A = this chain, B = another copy of it.
Amino acid sequence: MTAVTPQPGRRSGEADTLTTSERILDAAEALFAEKGFAGTAVRDIATRAGLHPGSLYNHFESKQALYEAVLQRGLRPIYEILDRAADPEAPPGPEMLVALMAHLSASPALARLIQHETLAGGEHAMRFVRRWLEPVYARASLALERSPNLGDWDREELPLLLMTYHHLIFGHYALAGALGQVLDIDLLSSDAVERHTRFLVKLSERLLGTAEEGERGGNAT
């Protein structure tokens, strides 16, 4: 067991060395992902984090603030992946897909959180969309436009392409639990993640004409 220097952004790990705040964030992430914001009780988060509900307010100002902290912690690595992909210096290729897959399959709660929010509608969700989702789409859009065979699609079809990726990535991991059960597959096993990544690359090929070289994208997780 190597010494763990507490990193703000890190997920889980050896239980005893986790900050209380991190334990709360972990508990909250799991519960918000499963039951949504309204369906999650502060008491349950606290219990799961091993403390009493009141104590939670020593670490986060409110349920809402905790929720946003969970989102923030989860979304930052995604920004970084997309930023790297949008870097004009970087070579085009399936690396972004592979990296995204790896990240989401490692913390599937994140994908579910994002879908919950996107699904919600109303004031609250609109703020989320503006603050969190628009930057993601802006970056993804940049990355997409560097694809070689894009001319195959009309300009007005591009948003649909973007959304296709949204669904096949975020949607896939968000629903991995339920759909895995329907199909009797563990969609979060490393095999399945690898297969899904290959599938996405193949599909990209057919849609965009990219990634002819990239069937290897496997050692995810």
- Chain A residues proximal to chain B, CB less than 8 Å: 33-39, 112, 115-122, 125-126, 129-130, 133-134, 137, 156-157, 159-160, 162-164, 166-168, 171-172, 174-175, 177-179, 181-183, 185, 195-196, 199, 203, 206-207
Contacts of A163 in B (CB 8 A): 172, 175, 179, 183
- Contacting residue for A38 out of B36, B156, B182, CB 8 A: B36
Number of identical monomers bound together in the oligomeric complex = 4
Contact (Cβ within 8 A) A119 B157? no
Alpha-carbon distance A22/B104, docked complex (angstroms): 41
CB A165 to nearest CB in B, in angstroms, measures 10
The 7 nearest A-B residue pairs measured at CB: A38-B39, A167-B167, A167-B171, A34-B121, A38-B38, A118-B178, A159-B183
Contact (Cβ within 8 A) A167 B159? no
Contacts of A126 in B (CB 8 A): 178, 181
CB-nearest residue of chain B to A30: B121
CB A133 to nearest CB in B, in angstroms, measures 5
Known: A129-B178, A167-B171. A195 touches B156 (CB 8 A): yes
- Contacting residue for A129 out of B121, B164, B182, CB 8 A: B182
Contacts of A39 in B (CB 8 A): 36-39, 120
